[in-house]
Structure 1
Amino acid sequence: MLRVLVVYFFVLVASAGPYPVLAQQGEPASNSSTVTEALADKTIRFASDELGAGVQFFGSDGSTYLWFPGRLEIAEGRWSDRTFRLAMPTSPGSEPKIHTTGLVCFEFDGAPRGKLTGKPFGPNECFKLDDIQSAIQEVADGDVLDLKNGRAPCRLCRSDMPLSRLRNRLGS
């Protein structure tokens, strides 16, 4: 997503018309307490076009563990929330309109997404919070599948299984 925004920025700069100004990127989100409350110490089951279907635990300490059912690997990494702001002038001499997007960013050592889904993670890959929220199928408090232990909860689990069924299959 960040790459799309960077390309968008350069396309606008190269064309005639109002020029966007990157006001801020990479600092903690102004609504970070809301994002942190929504994700910290939660296990989510998700399905997205970009990553497929999987399960992820978001630790309150910024750690994260990502697992795709049917795979034996669990990717360990870090997560954080950020705000991306883009200032766009509405007319000559007027104050620019600020567009703000909440981002959730991930850092995974060794680009584990390559092993898991075929595409490598960038060094600090970010997704729009809205996209993450729309991909969530189910949420549970805590690390209900014990992903922190680094072992896949089960070998033959399907991606459409609810967390309660996955939890019942731990170790199988």
Structure 2
Amino acid sequence: MRKVSINRLLTRAEQQFSLGEYQSAMTTYGLLLKEFPTHSDAKIGAFLCDIGMESGEEAQALFDYYQIIKKEQDDAPEVMSNLISTLDSTKNQISDLLSPVEDKIEYEDGIGYKDFLQFVDDRGDFSKAFEDVMFSTKVILRGKEEYIDFVSKLIDKGEEKLAEQFLDSMSSAFGKSQDIYELYHKLKQN
């Protein structure tokens, strides 16, 4: 790869990131890291893309901060790596603390998505299992992946109106997610 290509790819990745296209930016940063595994901007960019797929606002704030300190400090990549590492470890600690509380709430107020999927397997029929659960309790979805999987299953099983209601009520929480757009597209095709 020539020097111009490195700069061009880095610029493209940063533009994609700025537009909230975290998956595309991750791919571009990955191309850079494949050829230059120690490239600090590409490493930081890949970490920030990973954060962006969960929380766009947090990732954009960190990206902006990195752009500022990059111009002011020689050790900006190290500072940023330490900051990301600290944030990740703090999130894990908070998650560990909240997990027992979430489990207790889940037990009292509904069933977890994994338990729901097990119930579906036991019943052998998604629609009947869904009806049984929806009239007696609620399904607790934790995170974007479970939400997307659940809505996708609703669409697959012919529950288009309910799937649309779920999408409309939660799509703003996930921002400009390609996965959400794909679910709307899948819904239109049915």
Structure ranking higher in helix proportion? 2
By relative contact order (CA 8 Å, sep 6+), the higher-ranking structure is 1
Structure ranking higher in strand proportion? 1
TM-score (norm 2): 0.26
Which protein has the larger Cα radius of gyration, Structure 1 or Structure 2?
2
TM-score (norm 1): 0.28
